[in-house]
Amino acid sequence: MRSVGVEEELLLVDRESGEPQALSGAVLAMADRDDEGEGAAGDTTTGSFEAELHREQLEFNTRPHRSTAELSEEIVRRRTAAAEHADRVGAAAVALATSPLPVNPTVGTGPRYRWLTDEYGITTQEQLTCGCHVHVSVDSDEEGVAVLNRIRPWLSVLTALSANSPFWQGKDSGYSSYRSRVWGRWPSAGPVELFADAADYHEQIRAMVASGVLRDPGMVYFDARLSADHPTVEVRVADVCLEPSTTVLHAMLVRGLVETAARAWRAGEPAPPHPVTLLRLATWRAGRSGLDGELVSPLDMRPVPAAQAARSLLEHVRPALDDAGDFDEARERLTRLLREGNGAVVQRAVMRRTGSLRDVVADCVRRTHGGL
């Protein structure tokens, strides 16, 4: 069974006001101090937290797991640890993909971040967004590229399921995942064309860096890519999910997509030939609609209700989920998500009920650290 791991980015906010706070340095120092005291007792969270582009963010990485039950436990444990570290400096760690309240983000220090600011200007300054990346193991770069070619049409559905960023600078953006629109400002972000093979993939990466537009291969922000550090495919299209149960569903579906695509490749089935022009439209529609309204069907690139697209994804990966023992749980989680709504639906419901973006943040803080 393929291993799966998750990276999540959390927003650091003031406990009282809900406004983003540039406290990642203090939170990381607290985490390091706590880890020193707990590491000897076998604590598995040691060294799991990292800084991100903006000082209002905190990132954590899980270990790779073959059991989704163990992955579930670790996600909750890491979120809880992030909350405890943040609490000690007067902050809260919350799974919001954008800040509902107005913010003037603080870019981190260091030569890489200075280069990004100098090169990309306001795009870097405004890039305070929190995503969720899923890594799934592959046997080789050839298998990985074959997977990338075959999962392209389904990635927009994952964006819609995870959508958790309806507000931007104190206003309703009109989008369910406005993070996906902000992230798309990077020159290398978004869906890409089919690759002939692994050699073609790596040659395109080299050419992109050689153009001088990108600083290094780490700035290749494809919707899905080969990891530079691990033998994995990394899927990068999701907002950080409001509730941990949605993150686990997302990881299940991504692993199912990777396994399904690898099986199709081994069986000699061609990759769907959808052009990038249509994939970009599907990406936009997913960010706009989320689970409300229609999405672009991965099967024929025509409009369908969001719930229908989500169920098509579940059926597409069902054999892989069955073999992993995940299908019944994935179906149950998806049914609940379609019934209760994703993070964007929840945030807007709180706003309608209370009229307060601070109440939106407070509600999301509570949901971030909920159990499964």
Q: What is the pLDDT of residues 109-133, one digit of tens each?
A: 889 999 999 999 999 999 999 999 9
CB neighbour list of residue 344: distance below 8 Å, 6 or more residues apart: 163, 164, 165, 166, 176, 177, 290, 291, 292
pTM: 0.95
Q: How far is CA 371 from the centre of its chain?
A: 19
Sign, Cα dihedral of 191, 297, 181, 22: negative
User: Looking at residue 36, what is its pLDDT?
Assistant: 58
Give the whole-angstrom CA distance, residue 40 versus residue 6: 25
Question: Residues with Cβ < 8 Å from 357, sequence gap 6 or more?
Answer: 18, 100, 101, 167, 170, 351
The predicted-structure confidence for 135-179, as pLDDT tens digits, reads as follows 999 999 999 999 999 999 999 999 999 999 999 999 999 999 999
Q: At what angle do helices 357-368 and 343-354 cross, to 10 degrees?
A: 140
Residue type at 232 in one-letter notation: T
Q: Residue length, the chain?
A: 372
Cα Rg of the chain (Å, integer): 19
Percentage of the chain with pLDDT > 70? 96
pLDDT confidence band for 41 (50 / 70 / 90): very low
- CA nearest to 129, candidates 113, 112, 105: 105
Q: Hey, what are 246's tokens?
A: 């949605």
Would you state the pLDDT for residue 35?
66
pLDDT-derived band at 34 (thresholds 50, 70, 90) equals confident
Q: What is the mean pLDDT of residues 320-349?
A: 98
Q: How far is CA 292 from the centre of its chain?
A: 19
pLDDT 10s digits, 57-85: 999 999 999 999 999 999 999 999 999 99
- For the domain made up of 4-368, give the CATH fold: Creatine Kinase; Chain A, domain 2 (3.30.590)
Give the whole-angstrom CA distance, residue 3 versus residue 89.
Answer: 35
Question: CA-to-CA distance for 146 and 196, rounded, in angstroms?
Answer: 9
